[in-house]
Amino acid sequence: MGRWEPNARGRLANAALALYSERGFEQTTVAEIAKRAGLTERTFFRHYADKREVLFAGSSQLEEALVQAVAAVPRSAAPIDAVAVGLDTVAGFFTDRRDFARQRQAVIMANAELQERELIKLASMSAALADTLRRRGVAEPAASLTAEAGVSVFKVGFERWIGTAEEREMSQFLRESLDELKAALTGHQP
């Protein structure tokens, strides 16, 4: 390891996102990211495998946190309620990160390859969640369908959260989206 760089990982992520926004993802090099962050390329590669990973490293942490939170809910809870606890937990990751999340989303939407990667991450989250529910004793197809519902709520709630000027927390948007999904499927008002 080289000398210690205070918050090198966060500085690299911010520098990368700023450059992707300014010039586009394709046009940005790792050398430029390191320079903007005031660090070396070597330091970059100690933290990220490549420039795409800067955008998706958080997704893996998110999936892990979601799965762990759902697994920790008492088994007496209904599967969808366990998923709701998981969504509440992951919403905490986004506190004070709305500008970052917005900028990241804009970069992803501008690049077909990154959009595909995002879809893969969401599919992976759904599969991991279904697996966690099955290990809680939930049968198929309920496990897969509940997991899909959880990821849909995450996706739609997230998009509403970054799309609004309101100051409410992401957890509120996720809870509202879950209530709206229940209402849409049952025909009752949320």
Per CB under 8 A, residues contacting its own copies are 78-80, 115-116, 119-120, 123, 140-142, 144-146, 148-149, 152-153, 155-157, 159-160, 176-177, 180-187
What is the rounded distance in angstroms from the CA atom of residue 181 to the CA atom of residue 145?
Answer: 13
Task: Say if CB 170 and CB 93 are below 8 A apart.
Answer: no
* HSE-CB for 183 with a 13 A CA cutoff: 9
Least separation in angstroms between CB 51 and its own copies: 19
Least separation in angstroms between CB 91 and its own copies: 16
- Pick between residue 116 and residue 166 the one whose CB is nearest to its own copies: 116
Least separation in angstroms between CB 114 and its own copies: 12
Residues 6 or more apart in contact with residue 43 via CB below 8 angstroms: 2, 5, 8, 12, 34
- Three-state secondary structure call for residue 59: helix
- Pick between residue 101 and residue 142 the one whose CB is nearest to its own copies: 142
- Pick between residue 89 and residue 177 the one whose CB is nearest to its own copies: 177
- Pick between residue 92 and residue 141 the one whose CB is nearest to its own copies: 141
Least separation in angstroms between CB 10 and its own copies: 30
What is the rounded distance in angstroms from the CA atom of residue 85 to the CA atom of residue 83?
Answer: 5
